[in-house]
């Protein structure tokens, strides 16, 4: 089991959600976060005063998947999230030690 | 007064009052979210302070029996003998006395103690505003008697507030992190809402200053609408050319700059002159708001760049565009064959700037000695809403 964590442009969220549905993902968690990478922020201008805003809004998506689904899900996010411009984001894959569904007590792949 | 005039001036008084909460939103949107309530309160609370000051003594110092052209006497203390038409004039003028110190609050945003603001506003509304109002608005005031004209308060309201703001900024010092940290407006939608309320209320401010429901009021109403629109165009076009993007804050700032600039001449100039005044004000005020970075004074929300510069532009240009054809109470400006009127307008601008700068700086020093002017460093960092008012502007989770 793996946890796939993707940091993406906020406006891409709907496309990514649809792409994940298509490859069979049934649940995900989403958070609005701020951060910077190579894009290193953006410039904003108020009454002629330029401000470098280092932290820009990003969306973090978390999806737990079985080992067999990892490549398909990562590919789906990659395709849906890409614009080709700087700031498209990152995808990280982490191992999961255990998952537990609270309502039923199921554990492991059953609980995904 | 006719019933029509009484009705119009009652409505105008309410319109001018409405400008102060509008100004609160205009300013409130421009500060960081941790200081929004403090910004709103500094404006909203000024309504209460000045209403009391004006009722008890401010009105008589502005409009009581003249002493040497400088100040009114004490015959109307506590509104003694002020009734009927006089009472209506008193309450209309009260709304101007309220918004003028409120305008100053934008310059000292995000760092001035609330107690210091209350004391400064009380003293300023007690001494500075009534004197300058007497000079410019009362028949025996030295500026008015000399021939200077200020239709709705370019000198009395905007230059007066703008130069006081500069004096207070000098006494107070810049915000921590000025020019180094990101200090961006937290909610431009609030600012735009405030701009709309200001614009709406300004019809009472300018057209109401005809003090009658007559052709002068209509004329002032029209020039107000034109100048505000053209100045917003001028500001946005200037920034579009210089910075590459048209901004919401630019449109809002330009509209206010145009409203300021037409104020001294609203009932004295033609609609075409209002176009010229609006365009010049929009362009010059856009340039003026960058001065604070060049000279290093933290006029946080550009009270100097918009109200002082806009007020100067409007008061001086009145000396160019005034037409006795439109209103017999004003001599012709430079463009229509006049000469000494222009000179008098320039002298009036300089006189008000000199007096109010010195008086406001001295008041700021007095307040500093009594309450101190600035919040503590940690309070400024934490935000004035929590540290001074124990409230938050926005609660996103219970």
Cβ under 8 Å to B: A residues 22-51? 44-49, 51
* pLDDT 10s digits, B254-267: 999 999 999 999 99
Structure confidence at residue A86 (pLDDT): 87
Mutation pick from A45, A48, A53 vs chain B, by most beta carbons of B within 10 Å, is: A48
Mutation pick from A34, A45, A47 vs chain B, by most beta carbons of B within 10 Å, is: A47
Q: Identify the weakest region by mean pLDDT among A57-61, B181-185, B306-310, B384-388.
A: B181-185
Which chain B residues have a beta carbon less than 8 Å from that of A45?
243, 245, 247
Chain A nearest-CA residue for B181: A51
| Assigned domain for B309 exists | yes
> Which one of B182, B245, B253 has the shortest CB-CB distance to A47?
B253
* Nearest residue to B248 via CA among B290, B190, B310: B190
Q: How confident is the model over B135-152, as a mean pLDDT?
A: 98
| Assigned domain for B260 exists | yes
Structure confidence at residue A43 (pLDDT): 85
| Assigned domain for B389 exists | no
Structure confidence at residue B305 (pLDDT): 97
Q: How confident is the model over B84-112, as a mean pLDDT?
A: 98
pTM of the model as a whole? 0.88
Q: How confident is the model over B164-176, as a mean pLDDT?
A: 97
Which chain A residues have a beta carbon less than 8 Å from that of B290?
47-49
Q: Which of the four pLDDT bands, split at 50, 70 and 90, describes residue B379?
A: very high
Chain A nearest-CA residue for B253: A47
Residues in chain A with pLDDT values less than 50: none
| Assigned domain for B236 exists | yes
Phi, psi of B281 (to 5 degrees): -65, -45
Q: Return the CATH number at B99.
A: 1.10.3430.10
Q: Which of the four pLDDT bands, split at 50, 70 and 90, describes residue B47?
A: very high
The answer to whether A47 contacts B183, with C-beta atoms less than 8 Å apart, is: no
The answer to whether B182 contacts A52, with C-beta atoms less than 8 Å apart, is: yes
| Assigned domain for B266 exists | yes
The answer to whether A48 contacts B245, with C-beta atoms less than 8 Å apart, is: no
Give residue B69's region: left, alpha or beta (phi > 0; psi -120 to 50).
left
Q: How far is CA B389 from CA A111, B25, B146, B368, in A?
A: 49, 18, 47, 20
State the residue range of the domain holding B75.
Answer: 3-384
**Nearest 5°: CA angle at B387, between B382 and B389?**
135
On the question of pLDDT at B287 being above 90, the answer is yes
On the question of pLDDT at B277 being above 90, the answer is yes
Q: Which of the four pLDDT bands, split at 50, 70 and 90, describes residue B339?
A: confident
Q: How confident is the model over B345-354, as a mean pLDDT?
A: 98
Cβ under 8 Å to B: A residues 48-77? 48-49, 51-53
Q: Which of the four pLDDT bands, split at 50, 70 and 90, describes residue B182?
A: confident
CB of B245 within 8 Å of a chain A CB? The answer is: yes
On the question of pLDDT at B397 being above 70, the answer is no
| Interface size, chain A vs chain B, as Cβ–Cβ contacts under 8 Å | 29
The answer to whether B184 contacts A51, with C-beta atoms less than 8 Å apart, is: yes
Burial of B327 (0-12, 13-18, 19+ CB in 10 A): buried
Q: Which of the four pLDDT bands, split at 50, 70 and 90, describes residue B154?
A: very high
Structure confidence at residue B197 (pLDDT): 98
Q: How confident is the model over B53-67, as a mean pLDDT?
A: 98
Which chain A residues have a beta carbon less than 8 Å from that of B247?
45-46
Domains identified in chain B, total number? 1
| Assigned domain for B390 exists | no
Structure confidence at residue B141 (pLDDT): 98
Structure confidence at residue B398 (pLDDT): 63
| Assigned domain for B142 exists | yes
Chain A nearest-CA residue for B306: A47
Q: How confident is the model over B199-217, as a mean pLDDT?
A: 98
| Assigned domain for B391 exists | no
Question: Any idea what DSSP says for residue A110?
Answer: G
């Amino acid at each position: 089991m793996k946890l796939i964590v993707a940091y993406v442009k906020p406006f891409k969220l709907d496309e990514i959600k649809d792409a994940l549905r298509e490859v069979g993902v049934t649940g995900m968690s989403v958070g609005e976060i701020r951060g910077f990478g190579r894009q290193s922020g953006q410039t904003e201008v108020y009454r002629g005063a330029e401000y470098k805003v280092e932290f820009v809004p990003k969306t973090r998506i978390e999806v737990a998947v079985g080992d067999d689904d990892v490549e398909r899900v990562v590919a789906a996010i990659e395709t849906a999230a890409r614009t080709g411009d700087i700031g498209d984001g990152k995808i990280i894959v982490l191992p999961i030690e255990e998952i537990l569904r609270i309502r039923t007590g199921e554990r492991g792949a059953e609980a995904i | 007064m006719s019933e029509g005039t009484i009705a119009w001036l009652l409505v105008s008084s309410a319109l001018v009052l409405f400008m102060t909460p509008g100004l609160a939103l205009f300013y409130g949107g421009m500060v960081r979210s941790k200081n929004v309530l403090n910004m709103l309160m500094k404006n909203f609370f000024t309504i209460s302070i000045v209403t009391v000051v004006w009722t008890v003594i401010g009105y008589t110092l502005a409009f009581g029996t003249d002493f040497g052209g400088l100040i009114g006497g004490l015959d109307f203390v506590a509104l003694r003998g002020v009734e009927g038409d006089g009472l209506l004039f008193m309450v209309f003028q009260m709304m101007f006395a309220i918004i003028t110190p409120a305008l100053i609050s934008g310059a000292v945003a995000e760092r001035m103690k609330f107690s210091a603001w209350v004391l400064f506003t009380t003293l300023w509304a007690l001494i500075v505003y009534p004197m300058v109002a007497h000079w410019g608005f009362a028949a025996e005031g030295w500026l008015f008697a000399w021939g200077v004209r200020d239709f709705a308060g370019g000198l009395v309201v905007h230059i007066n507030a703008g130069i006081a703001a500069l004096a207070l900024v000098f006494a107070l010092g810049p915000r921590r992190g000025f020019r180094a940290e990101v200090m961006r407006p937290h909610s431009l939608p609030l600012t735009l809402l405030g701009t709309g309320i200001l614009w709406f209320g300004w019809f009472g401010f300018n057209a109401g200053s005809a003090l009658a429901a007559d052709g002068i009021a209509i004329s002032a109403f029209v020039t107000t609408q034109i100048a505000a629109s053209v100045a917003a165009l001028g500001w946005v076009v200037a920034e579009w050319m210089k910075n590459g993007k048209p901004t919401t804050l630019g449109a809002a700032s330009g509209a206010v700059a145009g409203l300021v600039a037409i104020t001294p001449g609203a009932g004295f100039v033609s609609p075409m002159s209002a176009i010229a005044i609006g365009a010049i004000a929009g362009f010059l005020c856009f340039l003026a708001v960058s001065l604070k970075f060049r000279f290093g004074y933290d006029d946080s929300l550009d009270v100097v760049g918009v109200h002082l510069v806009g007020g100067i532009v409007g008061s001086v240009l009145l000396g160019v565009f005034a037409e006795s054809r439109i209103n017999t109470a004003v001599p012709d400006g430079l463009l229509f064959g006049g000469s000494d009127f222009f000179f008098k307008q320039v002298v009036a601008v300089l006189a008000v700037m000199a007096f109010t700068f010195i008086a406001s700086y001295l008041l700021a020093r007095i307040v500093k000695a009594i309450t101190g002017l600035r919040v503590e460093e940690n309070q400024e960092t934490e935000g004035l809403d929590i540290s001074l008012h124990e409230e938050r502007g926005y609660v996103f989770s219970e």
